[in-house]
Amino acid sequence: MDERLEKHLLQKGDIIIISKGESNRACLFQNEVSPAVASSIFFVIRLHHQDVLPEYLQWYLNTSFMQATLSGFSRGTQIRSLSKKALVKVEVRIPSIHRQKQILKVQQLWEKERALTFELMELKEALYQGFLFDLTKSNTNA
């Protein structure tokens, strides 16, 4: 593979942003499938500084505030499209590495809480449906 093609290979820690459609979600490339290249509907952000964690940047870009900002930069009527020129203008707040790690830990705990809450709701649904169904078996007219 020559240098022209090699520079397009994704590397662990690259952030991939969807440039077309309703959502401009950011994904973190973990190098689970390699070699890989992002198609033309994605922007690739490769960090060259140690003061930003890729996981933090992914989280930041996926916040509702940033998604609304990116949506505001998108153009088009049928298929919305985010330009590289607009993406470059986006300001990213970069706290210390310690604070970035704290933010990611809180986000991880929040996601775990949401998953447990959803699981609890499903279990309660099954419990109540079973209880109510059992009441239909009763021959009493109470």
Per-state percent for the chain, helix, strand, coil, to nearest 5:
50, 10, 40
pTM score of the predicted model: 0.77
The rounded distance, in Å, linking the Cα atoms of 31 and 142 is 63
Per-residue pLDDT at 1:
61
State residue 141's pLDDT score: 62
Segments of the chain scoring below 50 in pLDDT = none
H/E stretch holding 27: strand 26-28
What pLDDT, on a 0 to 100 scale, did the predictor assign at position 6?
78
- Distance from C-alpha of 13 to C-alpha of 36, rounded to nearest angstrom: 13
Q: Is 18 helix (H, G, I), strand (E, B) or coil?
A: strand
Residue 31: per-residue pLDDT: 78
What does the pLDDT read at residue 58?
A: 95
